[in-house]
Amino acid sequence: MKKFLLPLMLAAATVFASSEKSGVISKSEHWTLNGSPYIISDDLLIGPDATVRIDAGVHVLAGRPAVYRKDVPQLDAGDSFAVSIRVKGTLKCEGKPGNPVVFGSNIDDSETCTWYGLILDAPADQAQFAFTEIVNACTGITVVRGRPDIHNTVISGCANGIRVLDKTAPVVANCILTKNESGGLSVTNANPVVRNSIIAFNSNCGILSDGKSLIDMRYNCVWNNGDKSFGGCDPRLGVPSKKIDNKIPADSYDNIIADPIFAGSTADSLAVEKDVSLATDKSRAKNPELLSILHMGKSGDSLAWKKRNAKYKRWVLSCYSPCIGSGDPAHEYANGDGSRADMGIYGGIVSDDKKAGAAKSPQSPVEPSEPKSTESPKAPLEPKGAVSR
């Protein structure tokens, strides 16, 4: 497995003095940039009465366990040999667009499964992730209790992305689960809600279920996940049954089955080459005089130049992406400007204006726009032994 430690993570580690954490946190704490990176030297437990707030830009790096801590319960055999962060209290990861909270490893030769990951074991929605990146874990997030809110989060380079267990019902919205070895999302005896997320390029499986869990999965993009994108799920998931805008294949639940096309990717470059609305690249021109008319003005003014030479933030969607404006049309998922949600981590961002508008007229929500497809998604099948909410 290739190294997946983010260069940004290593850079941040040299800017601020580090802080070491392990054992049980029994009182509330606020982790700031001044203390970053936070080095988790042994298993860490956020106690039931504690709240840990983590600011944008903070890096939390786990190492190899030095001792076996009896005061932090182990989830399974894997947890006993790798450092984990277990949450029984409240965890609030308050990242921002382009400045996420990052969880990873401080081991120089970092590869998949150098630390265990985050274990969410708190009631209700006491664990909240916003603009967070999780890398190099055995399982990025394991949900064993409650209904955590995981949104605008990237989990990559792990053995497993998110594992959902034991009658839990996390909400996974506007996330990206990609390049994980076993799969993006694993569900056992649980009922997760998945919206506006991109599950793509995982080595083995996109979503793996036990065959009886009810996964409320609508308006996502699932693409190119190793052996299969869906395993043990509702048989209608991932089966093209319609075309959005007469061109984008989707299943009965409006999950797109197409390359998400991130800006700067190979798919993005190919889309530019096929775009007949763009003027020909000057280097390929056979008639320079004609091309000078098409490229009037400064070189940086043309649409073709901008599309070929733009600098993009990580995980930004290309302007050719089918995920733009294809998210859940419900107002609660809308983009910050009120438009229909984009999929991925930059979609569904709630702006201050949107919050203010909601506060002024709570009884008059904005009506959602109509879905791009005219077909209404059918209710999911309820297999025998399904878990009820």
Domain span including residue 37: 7-250
- Residue (of 244, 239, 215, 217) closest to 228 by Cα position: 239
Verify that 12 and 131 share a domain, yes or no.
Answer: yes
DSSP of 197-255, one letter per residue? -EEE--SSEEEEE-SS---EEES-EEE--TTEEEESS-TTTT---EEETTTEEE-TT--
Verify that 31 and 112 share a domain, yes or no.
Answer: yes
pLDDT 10s digits, 61-82: 997 766 555 556 665 555 556 8
Verify that 244 and 270 share a domain, yes or no.
Answer: no
Verify that 167 and 288 share a domain, yes or no.
Answer: no
Verify that 212 and 119 share a domain, yes or no.
Answer: yes
Verify that 203 and 294 share a domain, yes or no.
Answer: no
Verify that 287 and 211 share a domain, yes or no.
Answer: no
pLDDT 10s digits, 355-384: 333 322 222 223 333 334 434 444 444 433
181 within some domain: yes
Q: Which amino acid belongs to residue 87?
A: V
Verify that 292 and 191 share a domain, yes or no.
Answer: no
Instruction: Indicate the number of domains in the chain.
Output: 2
331 within some domain: no
Verify that 291 and 168 share a domain, yes or no.
Answer: no
Instruction: Look up the pTM and report it.
Output: 0.79
- Residue (of 12, 336, 286) closest to 174 by Cα position: 336
Q: Which of 250, 285, 317 is at the close of a domain?
A: 250
pLDDT 10s digits, 119-152: 999 987 789 999 999 999 999 999 999 999 999 9
72 vs 46, 118, 147, CA distance in Å? 10, 13, 22
53 within some domain: yes
Verify that 177 and 278 share a domain, yes or no.
Answer: no
pLDDT 10s digits, 269-317: 888 778 776 655 554 555 555 445 444 444 444 444 455 555 567 899 9
| CATH code of the domain covering residue 70 | 2.160.20
How does residue 8 score in pLDDT terms, banded at 50, 70 and 90? very low
Verify that 87 and 164 share a domain, yes or no.
Answer: yes
